[in-house]
Structure 1
Amino acid sequence: MRKLTYLVACSIDGFIGDPGGDASSFMRYIDEEYLEFLTGEYPDTLPAEGRRTLGLDGVANKRFDTVVQGRGSYQLGLDAGEPSPYGHLREIVASRTIEESPHPNVEIVRDGIVERVRELKAEEGDLGIWLCGGSRIAGELVDEIDELVIKTYPQVYGSGMPMFASGFAIGDFALDAVRSFGNGVVVRWYSRR
């Protein structure tokens, strides 16, 4: 069975964006050491434009062959003129407001995202599924998440978009690894208990 990995950037206090969902303040921490880590370990999670800029076009997917995201996360690509922002992956977008897909590589799931993710996890294959965000879809899929990769940036937001927009429920995960960087970013890997 394939794994669903929620790989997400957040502030020290657990917000993935400000109250409007903007997380651009994290970008100031992309230095040479951290970029080398991202491009070496998670090149699949870079959008197509970033891959082109960094000369990673044609680099084989390392960890994921599918990305799942909510409408808000997908809208960032649309606003940048990229209807298929992760064209090197199969793209699944959970949205009740997009009537039809603006790109052949993008599958719109209007209802039943949990069931669709279960189908994806049951497929054959060595590569996993990346839950890109945002908060609401992570809340809906919290029970399906097998692995968390949390990139914590040395900022405190105070309020904003939480990692999971869901009701109160305790879910236990085991800490597998931690890596810190000179820029203050800490990456933690957790697996579901």
Structure 2
Amino acid sequence: MRKLIYGMNVSLDGYIAAPGDDISWGGPPSDELFQWWLDRERATSLMLYGRKLWETMSSYWPTGDQQPGASPAEIEFARNWRDTPKVVFSSTIDTVDWNTRLVTGDAVAEITRLKAEDGGPMGIGGATLAAAAMRAGLIDEYELAIYPVLTGAGTPFFTALDSWANLNLVETRTFPGGVVLTRYETKR
């Protein structure tokens, strides 16, 4: 059975985006944090995206390695992003590209099916998609890179749940700029 990991940059008050889908509050990550995300992406065998995050990622990373001043880590991230198989869950877009498959049906059923397959870890991103997986009890690990900023409102990292989810802390790490990484595994 595959492991499903939900990880994103998060404001101290728990938002992945400020009102208006504004993600500029985090600023560019430190080189050390960016390298951590790159290592995580390299270890991921399949990425699952909701529409909004897919649109954000696919608007930059297909050519991220060709941008002026791209760092070696950014070049590697772009190449890895293109090569990693991806699934986008959306009923509002018609086509996807860059080693990606589109699913328009029941996301929870498809994620459950994918988890049952053999293979490496899967990452999930996008608040709405991750919320559905959370409520279904499908997420095995949470990774939060918590930035020292309060947005006051926006898109929350966590959704309302029907029941508690007990977690085990597996890692904490501090990065430059006061960003604190916390990783938790779901108690089963």
TM-score > 0.5, shorter chain as reference: yes
CA contact (8 A) 2:47 2:85 kept: yes
Q: How does 1:154-165 map to 2 (within 5 A)?
A: 154-165=148-159
- 1:179 maps onto 2:173 in alignment: yes
- Give the match's secondary structure for 2:19: coil
> Match of 1:77?
57
> Match of 2:90?
95
CA distance in 2, matches of 1:154, 1:92: 31
Inter-CA distance 176–164: structure 2 relative to 1 (3 Å threshold):
same
- 1:190 maps onto 2:163 in alignment: no
> Match of 1:128?
121
Q: How does 1:1-193 map to 2 (within 5 A)?
A: 1-28=1-28, 30-39=29-38, 41-42=39-40, 44=41, 61=42, 63-80=43-60, 82=62, 86-99=81-94, 101-103=95-97, 105-125=99-119, 127-132=120-125, 134-142=126-134, 143-166=137-160, 169-193=163-187
- Mind listing any 5+ residue stretches in structure 2 that lack a counterpart? 64-77
Percent identity, aligned pairs only?
27
CA contact (8 A) 2:82 2:98 kept: no
Greater fraction helix: 2
Which shows bigger deviation, 159-168 or 115-124? 159-168
TM-score calculated relative to the size of structure 1: 0.79
- Mind listing any 5+ residue stretches in structure 1 that lack a counterpart? 45-60
CA distance in 1, matches of 2:102, 2:116: 19
CA contact (8 A) 1:7 1:130 kept: yes
Q: What's the offset of the Cα at 1:96?
A: 0.8
- Give the match's secondary structure for 1:140: helix
Aligned residues: 169
> Match of 2:70?
none
Q: What's the offset of the Cα at 1:25?
A: 2.3
TM-score calculated relative to the size of structure 2: 0.81
Amino acid at match of 2:25: S
CA distance in 1, matches of 2:19, 2:31: 29
The two structures, once aligned, show a CA RMSD in angstroms of: 2.1
Deviations 1:39-69 (A, max 9, x none): 4x32x2xxxxxxxxxxxxxxxx3x2110001
